[in-house]
Amino acid sequence: MTKAIRIHTNGGPEVMVWEDVPTPEPGPGEALIKHEAIGLNFIDVYFRSGLYKAPGLPLIIGQEGAGTVLAVGPDVKSPAVGDRVAYAGPLGGYATERVIAADRLVKLPDAISFETGAAMMLQGLTAQYLIRRTFAVKPGDTIVVHAAAGGVGLILCQWAQHLGATVIGVVSSEEKAELARAHGAAHTVVGHTKLAAEVKRITGGAMVPVVYDSVGKDTFAASIDCLAPLGLMVSYGNASGPVPPVDISMLGAKGSLYLTRPTLATYTTKRSDLERIAAELFEVVGSGVVKIQVNQTFALKDAGLAHAALEARKTTGSTVLIP
């Protein structure tokens, strides 16, 4: 047997139950891994609450982790037993041991700890595709990043600054503003009610070519108003709730805007893309350009407390769960 946090129904953090589950056997194309650390992400809240539909119940939530390969199924050539690995994507993460498709694992460089690996895969791969592919940030760009002191947010601030961009970070408190500035945000705005006016002031009226909005319902309209003509609205999360249906004629009226709702899954479907993105992430983390801030650690069995903190906006940077 192994230990896992499972949900048997959707609801608040209290639906997460710490229980024994049978240790899975790796089938063809699969690997059994022992987790050393598991990443906490807002998507875990969506699957727990029911905002995102579970493939079935009971469900082991969690989509990010790092650990050691214990066994591989027939025909798996890589990774090998004993390898240090990390992943982002497949559900089933909140467990001491898990089975996973071997082609979703990447080898974790020796210089990167299991905690950092578990903290950075989902949020870091997301930051990579957002600023390198969804909109390729270049020197001289001014960009808006919501939840700038959060997990994805702190990585975006550091990486975009390294690419030569000026980051306007949006946060909910002065304390978080300070943290975002310490990680590369040139400007910070507390709250979003006067966001467009602040962006207008900071950019001298030019507005910005891209907004990265992970907050969703509460900030969508304010974000749209920050864009320059032909600007790109990247709505990549729903921390405040899902964005209601949009009348697309608004995009024309606001300046022929573009709108995308990207997911990490699309950007890493091909193994070659996953390897390329992960290699770039390992490079910026290994060189110190991006520092992964693991600002909270919880025991896996206390995942409910971790969810409550994340939803109450009490966390900053990344959070890991230790089995």
- CA dist 210 and 258 (Å) reads 9
Q: Does position 41 bind ligand NDP by CB under 6 A? A: yes
Residues in region 196-235 near ligand NDP by CB under 6 A: 214-215, 218
- Tally Cβ neighbours within 10 Å of residue 95: 25
Cis upstream peptide for 26 (omega within 30°): no
Per CB under 6 A, 62 contacts ligand NDP? no
Q: Is the peptide bond before 58 cis (omega within 30 degrees of 0)?
A: yes
When asked if residue 311 is in the footprint of ligand NDP (CB under 6 A), the reply is: yes
Question: Is 48 near ligand NDP (CB under 6 A)?
Answer: no
Give the three-class secondary structure for 195.
helix
Cβ atoms of 35 and 67 within 8 Å: the answer is: yes
Decide: is 172 part of the binding site for ligand NDP (CB under 6 A). yes
Q: Is the dihedral of CA 203, 205, 210, 216 positive or negative?
A: positive
Pairing of strands 142-146, 84-88: unpaired
Binding mask 92-131 for ligand NDP (x = CB under 6 A): ------------------------------xx--x-----
Could you say whether residue 264 binds ligand NDP (CB under 6 A)? yes
| Pair 194, 172: CB distance under 8 Å | no
Q: Residues 228 to 247: which contact ligand NDP by CB under 6 A?
A: 236-240
Cβ of residue 275: shortest distance to ligand NDP, in angstroms?
A: 18
List binders of ligand NDP among 145-164 (CB under 6 A): 147, 149-153
- Residue 276 found at the interface with ligand NDP (CB under 6 A): no
Residue 135 binds ligand NDP (CB under 6 A): no
**Binding piece for ligand NDP, criterion CB under 6 A, among 23-31, 63-71, 225-233, 305-313:** 305-313
Q: Does 262 bind ligand NDP (CB under 6 A)?
A: yes
Q: Rank residues 32 and 185 by Cβ distance to ligand NDP and give the closer one.
A: 185
In order of 70, 102, 104, the CA distances from 78 in angstroms are: 13, 7, 11
Residue 33 phi, psi dihedral angles, 5° rounding: -120, 150
Minimum gap (Å) between residue 31 Cβ and ligand NDP: 23
How many residues bind to ligand NDP according to rule CB under 6 A? 30
Place of tokens 């969804």: 134
What residue type is assigned to position 4 of the chain? A
User: How far is residue 154 from each of residues 70, 110, 159, 204, measured CA to CA in Å?
Assistant: 33, 23, 9, 25
Q: Which of 6, 104, 107, 313 binds ligand NDP (CB under 6 A)?
A: 313
Among the residue ranges 2-10, 74-82, 221-229, 256-264, the one whose residues contact ligand NDP (CB under 6 A): 256-264
| Separation CA 294–CA 31 (nearest Å) | 27
Residue 20 neighbours by CB distance under 10 Å: 9
Is the Cβ of residue 32 or residue 220 nearer to ligand NDP in the bound state? 220
Binding site for ligand NDP (CB under 6 A): 41-43, 122-123, 126, 147, 149-153, 171-172, 176, 214-215, 218, 236-240, 262-264, 310-311, 313, 315
